[in-house]
A and B are shown apart, each in its own frame.
Chain A
Amino acid sequence: MKLHAVEILERERFGDHTLLRYRWTGAPPEPGQFMMVRTADSLQALDPFLSRPLFAHDYDDEAVSLLFEIRGRGTALLSEEDAGLLVSEPLGHGYTLDGGPVALVGGGVWVSPLKLLSRHLTRSGITHDVYLEIPATAHEAYAAWISENYPDAALVRTDAALDAPQTVLGSIGDLSRYAGLYASGPAPMLNAVKRLSDGTVPAQLALRERMACANGSCYGCAVPLWRDGARAYARACVDGPIFPAEVLAW
């Protein structure tokens, strides 16, 4: 996997989240595409061994931004000041844009790809509503950042005691007024979106899988789906990471 050294224009940390903005002159990322990302030092040391797949959060013709939660050493290193950044080209199949109006549903720390999607929908003149669920456990700084950066979104602060995905989906109300659903969230939320959309509204889901090669070679990022009536495993990196909900064999 060819990685490019890029210039970091902005590194913002809020709570346990980081926003990285880097100058990018290569192929523009499509909504739902991802990049393999790591620090320059970690490639030298091969520690951590693998790069991290991160969704394109936004792109403005000059820079790509990444929004991610700090979960382990890889993401912690990426959040450090002065860490040199290496990124791949945008990878995978993103969201497919059709007619509107559509609903964007994001959950918790997984809202990242919806920003770029929203930008493209606006550019294409497709009406869309954004529904974001922020768990009560989320860091205040992150919650504030989300409120600030998604001014038009319907934000649902869920209580940990409640069933979060039902709550955000419940706030959407009648799904039939939408021509499509675009979701990016934790597995229970994606499951709920799939169930709710089944037979009513086409839904596209952003899947997060562990990846090693990110070019279809290792078959590590297996996603169960229905193919020709049989259960099979697709690869999130080259067949996804965005999948139509109806093909997923969950």
Chain B
Amino acid sequence: MTQTATLSQRNIISMESLTDTDIDTILDTADSFKEISTRTIKKVPTLRGRTIINLFFEPSTRTRTSFEIAGKRLSADVINISGASSSTVKGESLIDTVKNLEAMNPDILVVRHNCSGAPALITQFFNKPVINAGDGTHEHPSQSLLDLLTIREYKGNLKGLKVAIVGDIAHSRVARSNIHAMQTMGMTVKVIAPPTLIPIDIEHLGVDVCHDLTNGIRDADVIMILRIQMERQNQGLLSSLREYSNYFCLTEEHLSNVSDETLIIHPGPVNRGIEISLDVMEGSRSLILNQVTNGVAIRMALFYLLLGESDANSN
């Protein structure tokens, strides 16, 4: 009699591999989880006795904290391992690290790695669910899911919305995840950036390309601003940060021709004044902090939905 919710995947590696039903299931579940974080006692016993390992080979505040809080609000034990403090600095291979962690019987592994494909590789050596928390320039599925949840909350539904993604598309795993997910959900995506920050052949992903910010955002329902990744900018792709800002920093002036209903989102961390101006960032259309709140609910939903599969495999 009880309706059930299941995902087609036992690992969350990419948005490309999720169906629209999967995405709806995750968003609906996350929507129900939001209330828990508003309680005085922000904890439910659902994952009591379960162990979640956060294995992060790249710096992160938001994502790692968000996964940790999500696990703890479900009563799981959460262990954080950062690349700098792990045995990989002693020369242990990624696969050996994962096999050793597996020998301690965790229930879910959350992985961030600077190499695209690392989480997918890990699934071959780890028999419990793996969640990709960002791999190289490939994908960052939980970020895309929280973006979709935030947009859906304000727009009612996703189908038919026009999204403009502005910034370093070439290096952005957030852009890649969202391009796949948004098209799965029936949205249209336009990417806006200087030619050097747009991958060759991106049209094959079904997106429009534009090199002018003012024109590009005119009909957008949602503007997603991406961070200029300082750590990846020594390749001569931009002549200078200031020049990038002159042409691509989103300011109130750009928004004067844009509908008041248009939402502005940014996956963080923000370089204030470089890709987005201070007044836009803190303005009424900006949902940057709502995204962070929704991130916890999305990650609680992923843990909840993936738990069943891990049981089936161990029993």
Q: Tell me if chain B binds chain A.
A: no
B residues with a Cβ closer than 8 A to A are: none
